[in-house]
Amino acid sequence: MKRRAALVMAVAMLVGCQREQRDLRLDPPVAAALDQVAPTANGIGGAPPDVYVALGGPYESNAYNLGEGKRLYTWFNCKGCHADGGGASGPALMDGWWRYGADPVSLFVSLRDGRPNGMPAYRDKLTTEQIWQLVGYVQTIGMASATTAAPSRNDEMQSRPAENRAPAAADLPTPPSR
């Protein structure tokens, strides 16, 4: 009995050793393959590259990637247009209902190639990996329920509940259907 309890404890402790992996150096061929999205004809929705699926969607479920995306969101002044709650020259991204799609492939295409009415293309300013990191982070902005992975906290005042907390958008009205 005692031995079995010790065994269970040992297994539980070993599970505790599990630590999130940070992939700091993406292999160049993988980075190149991650660029191969297959959007639909109108550029909204589509299929992610096979390697994205093979990697297990690390840009939505890995806290390090989400944190890097959050840093890039500030560094590349996404806030300048998509400010929380208001937006200045671009729409606020808090409701999760977005003109050009909220799925990863649509977001990737929006960031890489730009969109009409002002969204610039970041193809020559960001690497493919950085665009995917931003895609992951931008999804958490409009998220209606908390996930297990969250970026690091804000250094400035929070204008909305932190990403790792309960539903941020629960009190918002349901997105209009199209």
Partner 1 sequence: MRLRHLIVSVLLPLAAGGCAGSQSALDPQGPNAASLAWLIGAFTIVCGIVWLLVMIVVGVALLRRRGAAEPADTPLAEDPGRERRKGAVVLAAVLATVVIVTGLTVISYLATHSLTAASGEPLVVRLRGYQWWWEVTYTSPSPDRFVTSANEIRVPVGRPVRLELSAADVIHSFWVPSLAGKQDLIPGRDNQLTFTAERPGIYRAQCAEFCGVQHARMALVVVALPPDEFAAWLDGQLRDAATPANEEEAAGREVASGKACAACHTIRGTPAAGTLGPDLTHVASRQTIAAGTLPTTRGSLAAWIADPQGVKPGNKMPMVPLSADELRAVSAYMASLK
* Footprint of partner 1 (CB under 8 A): 22, 24-26, 28, 31-32, 71, 75-76, 124-127, 129-130, 155
Phi-psi region of 85 (alpha: psi -120 to 50; beta: other; left: phi over 0): left
Residue 63: CB minimum distance to partner 1, A: 14
Which residue's CB is nearer to partner 1, number 133 or number 169? 133
> What's the alpha-carbon Rg for the chain, to the nearest Å?
19
**At CA 95, angle to CA 178 and CA 20, rounded to 5?**
120
| Distance from C-alpha of 173 to C-alpha of 87, rounded to nearest angstrom | 18
Shortest Å distance, C-beta 66 to partner 1: 16
Q: Which is nearer to partner 1, 59 or 98 (CB)?
A: 59
The Cα–Cα gap between 100 and 84 comes to 18
Q: How far is the CB of 165 from partner 1 (least distance, A)?
A: 23
Residue with Cβ nearer partner 1 (31 or 92):
31
